[in-house]
Structure 1
Amino acid sequence: MSKQRLTFSTLLLFLGLVSVSGCGGGSSKSTNVGNNIDNAPVLQVPATGEAGDGRLTEIIEYLRIESNLPALAGVLIYDGEIIELGVSGRRAITSDNEVTLEDKWHIGSLTKSMTSTLAAKLVQENIIQWHTTIAEVYPELSDSMQSQYVSVKLSELLSHTAGFEENLPSLANYYQDNDEITIQRQKMVEEALMLQPNNARGEFHYSNLSYMVAGAMMEKLTGQSWELLINNYVFQPLNMTNIGFGAPDIEGDFQQPVGHSQSGNSWQAVMVTDSEIADNPPVIGPAGTVHASLTDMARYLSAHLTGARGESVHGFLSADMFAVLHQDTSGTGYSLGWGINDGVLIHSGSNTMWLAKAVIRPQNNTAIFVVTNAADLVSSDSKAVIATDKLIEEIRKRASLVYGD
């Protein structure tokens, strides 16, 4: 298995929320899955029901078993409140430890919206501006960087329109880099700015590297790591306390869920204590290394739901700042950390061992988050993609019966 684990390279993860038919009627039976992807048992299909009826866990259990996933989880938020949340499955196929409502889940590229939110906080405090250019932050690199990057603005980096490649070609080398993370990111910037542009400015090209450069710019202006900044400016103000970076099962003892990759027709648990790499190197942080509990994700999405409805979040961000975050100013279908589809904010993320998706619907004041600790993204009939799409659709239908469409 390759040691270089990169987040999704196409629009599939943040715009690929395909509407699929969901559940019907009946009840489910709790069953553990094995490690074979194709050995899911035949189950009775549970009724969709409606939000708040206490049956979400039953639906999650059914969809998990149907797709033979190690674990699956979901949460529905309405008007800033958690209406229902549920989990099903095991932390790893090699463990009997069941997932809990308090467990942490890797969210991959959903981290990008958090990095953009951090940028908004720093803009609001006049530490950086949306129009701040790379050369203004790195004047010492102006002569050595590619000419296209000199006048690239922070907002272009966060909207994937700066022209950067998807990933740093030497990213895997940073697994062995023992320098302080801020030093690593400054070295990364020097490499990135010498790369030939992938595309012209203004053209959309999804790029982890673009977000890595944006995070490094914020570090240089503040003298603090992106991890410390996002904790102080985003997580703490929103009371997100069950959150961190990298693979959540830090000690490799199944106290938290473990990510799984596809190996033939089987799932392979990727442990932090093995020679396998359980996440991307920390240098990629601003593009996708956060893990969080369902409750903390609900708090985060609630803030953006409030902002998407044209309101400020007291003590956090103004309505005007949220409007910048949620507006597709480049006409690409992407704002600053969010895909936009008919007023709905969407994004997904994966480090190839997890799959997380978020949907914010300001029209009916709801937000949905779903996640699984497995990903088979190379499959044309991905079990993880199908199951998470079905769960989103089921939660959406449950919500629409109570809160409208």
Structure 2
Amino acid sequence: MKKEIIIILIFLLSFNVKAQVFSDKIDSIRTQYQIPALGVAVLSSDSILEMNVYGTDKIHSDSKIGLKNRFHIGSNTKAVTSFIAADLVSKGKISWETGFFSLFPELKTTQNEADFTLINLINFKTPLTSFSYDTEIPESLQITGTNQEQRYKIAKYLLGKKSVNKNEDNLYLTNLGYVLAGLMLEKASHKSYNLLVDELSKNLGIIFQFGSPNLKDKMQTYGHDSQLNPINTENVKLNWLLTAGNLNISLPDYSLFIQNYLLGIKGKGKILKQNVFDMLLFGFPKFSFGWFNMTGDKGNFLQNFGNANGFMSSVTIIKEKDLAIVILGNVSSDRAQEGIEKIFEVLEKKYYK
């Protein structure tokens, strides 16, 4: 009996040492690539295989982050908007084929003869002009009112502008499609996007919030620019881009949101049916409802990368392995993106065999 206990203790000690070595490796990459705060999670449909946070809430701070710290997820908001759209379609509030101008006929211009369907807006299939948080908007343009009214006014202005060109995958890569889709969801449901997100949060048992975490709570995580300066102000254009990229969430809650996709494609997900989860992830080639997808020698990969207001977020779903990898950071720079890619390689090597 004593020998068995000793063997078990040696095994546990060895396991803990290996876990610490692995954790130290992740943290060393974070330090090398100057990412003040980092969140990492690896998930299967029924388990949290890895979840840890590293660093401090902002540069030169002594306040270490914990699992309650929140990260801005940028463009990964698009999957949230797509999920809400799918729920409203399932409830009969709107159709995927509903046209934007059937809901907003007053915004139709001579340049936009064809209608824009909800499904095409969400899947980058609609010819629209470029729009991001660094798009120049004339000072003479009066964008006032509630956030919802401001998004309507900016949409009205941008609908008259020249479309971006299709890329090699026949996609029109612009955030404007999600801004228009958000207006449609609000009108069809008679609810603000904020309320729709709050209802989704409640139904999933998680908490999405809006904007940068530190602007609501100074004890929360700060974003940093490429020079590692903490960002203390909100870019107003991110409010206009809310439905395309302006949500924040904690690592545990975001992991539950992503895990619901893994459960969903097995017919065990919350809110949506299995065929709807399949459509969201694999309904279109190259980009499907908030996810870039690809098929290679390792199977079906779904990925997206968020980058806004000093934060970066990377999510990968590997269908055949029932696996998802989430990496969240609080600095926006080429160096930080390289570091996140290095961390992904380390996690992939450990968990994707």
Q: Tell me the distance in 2 between the aligned counterparts of 1:60 and 1:289.
A: 27
SS for the counterpart of 1:65 is helix
Q: Tell me the distance in 2 between the aligned counterparts of 1:99 and 1:324.
A: 36
Paired position in structure 1 for 2:84: 118
Paired position in structure 1 for 2:26: 60
SS for the counterpart of 2:342 is helix
Residue 161 of structure 1 and its aligned partner are, at CA, apart by: 1.3
Does the C-alpha gap of structure 1 residues 173 and 75 become closer, same or farther in structure 2, counting only changes over 3 Å? farther
Residues 244 and 292 in structure 1, CA contact (< 8 A), matched pair in contact too: yes
Paired position in structure 2 for 1:147: 112
Paired position in structure 1 for 2:276: 321
Q: Tell me the distance in 2 between the aligned counterparts of 1:99 and 1:176.
A: 40
Q: Tell me the distance in 1 between the aligned counterparts of 2:190 and 2:348.
A: 43
Q: Does 1:339 find its partner at 2:292?
A: yes
Q: Tell me the distance in 2 between the aligned counterparts of 1:179 and 1:128.
A: 26
Matches within 5 A, 1:188-337: 188-199=154-165, 203-232=170-199, 234-241=200-207, 243-251=208-216, 253=218, 255-263=219-227, 267-272=228-233, 277=234, 280-307=237-264, 309-314=265-270, 316-329=271-284, 331=285, 333-337=286-290
Does the C-alpha gap of structure 1 residues 299 and 198 become closer, same or farther in structure 2, counting only changes over 3 Å? same
Two-structure CA RMSD over aligned residues (Å): 2.6
Residues 247 and 291 in structure 1, CA contact (< 8 A), matched pair in contact too: yes
Larger fraction in helix: 2
Amino acid at match of 1:334: F
Residues 212 and 309 in structure 2, CA contact (< 8 A), matched pair in contact too: no
Q: Tell me the distance in 2 between the aligned counterparts of 1:145 and 1:220.
A: 23
Does the C-alpha gap of structure 1 residues 310 and 228 become closer, same or farther in structure 2, counting only changes over 3 Å? same
Paired position in structure 1 for 2:55: 89
SS for the counterpart of 1:260 is coil
What per-residue deviation string (whole Å, max 9, x for no partner) do you get for residues 163-213 of structure 1? 112206555869995511221122122223222332479931211111111
Does the C-alpha gap of structure 1 residues 200 and 91 become closer, same or farther in structure 2, counting only changes over 3 Å? closer
Residue 387 of structure 1 and its aligned partner are, at CA, apart by: 1.1
Matches within 5 A, 1:65-84: 65-84=31-50
Residue 56 of structure 1 and its aligned partner are, at CA, apart by: 4.9
Q: Does 1:364 find its partner at 2:321?
A: yes
Q: Tell me the distance in 1 between the aligned counterparts of 2:222 and 2:140.
A: 22
Q: Tell me the distance in 2 between the aligned counterparts of 1:67 and 1:175.
A: 40
SS for the counterpart of 1:350 is strand
Q: Tell me the distance in 1 between the aligned counterparts of 2:58 and 2:140.
A: 27
What per-residue deviation string (whole Å, max 9, x for no partner) do you get for residues 71-124 of structure 1? 222011112332221111111114221111210001100001111111100100
Does the C-alpha gap of structure 1 residues 173 and 180 become closer, same or farther in structure 2, counting only changes over 3 Å? farther
Residues 92 and 269 in structure 1, CA contact (< 8 A), matched pair in contact too: yes
Paired position in structure 2 for 1:134: 100
Q: Tell me the distance in 1 between the aligned counterparts of 2:67 and 2:266.
A: 31
SS for the counterpart of 2:303 is strand
Structure-2-length-normalised TM-score: 0.86
Residues 350 and 375 in structure 1, CA contact (< 8 A), matched pair in contact too: yes
Residue 246 of structure 1 and its aligned partner are, at CA, apart by: 0.6
Q: Does 1:165 find its partner at 2:129?
A: yes
Q: Tell me the distance in 1 between the aligned counterparts of 2:220 and 2:175.
A: 26
Q: Which runs of 5+ in 2 are unaligned?
A: 1-14
Paired position in structure 2 for 1:383: 335
What per-residue deviation string (whole Å, max 9, x for no partner) do you get for residues 18-77 of structure 1? xxxxxxxxxxxxxxxxxxxxxxxxxxxxxxx99x94655323211111212212220111
What per-residue deviation string (whole Å, max 9, x for no partner) do you get for residues 322-357 of structure 1? 12211253x4x1111100022111101001511110
Residues 60 and 87 in structure 1, CA contact (< 8 A), matched pair in contact too: no
SS for the counterpart of 2:173 is coil
Residues 45 and 260 in structure 2, CA contact (< 8 A), matched pair in contact too: no
Amino acid at match of 2:210: F
Aligned residues: 331
Amino acid at match of 1:90: T
Paired position in structure 2 for 1:392: 344
Matches within 5 A, 1:98-117: 98-117=64-83
| Identity percentage of aligned residues | 24
Residues 310 and 323 in structure 1, CA contact (< 8 A), matched pair in contact too: no
Does the C-alpha gap of structure 1 residues 237 and 59 become closer, same or farther in structure 2, counting only changes over 3 Å? farther
Q: Tell me the distance in 1 between the aligned counterparts of 2:77 and 2:138.
A: 20
Q: Tell me the distance in 2 between the aligned counterparts of 1:286 and 1:224.
A: 14
Q: Tell me the distance in 1 between the aligned counterparts of 2:236 and 2:41.
A: 24
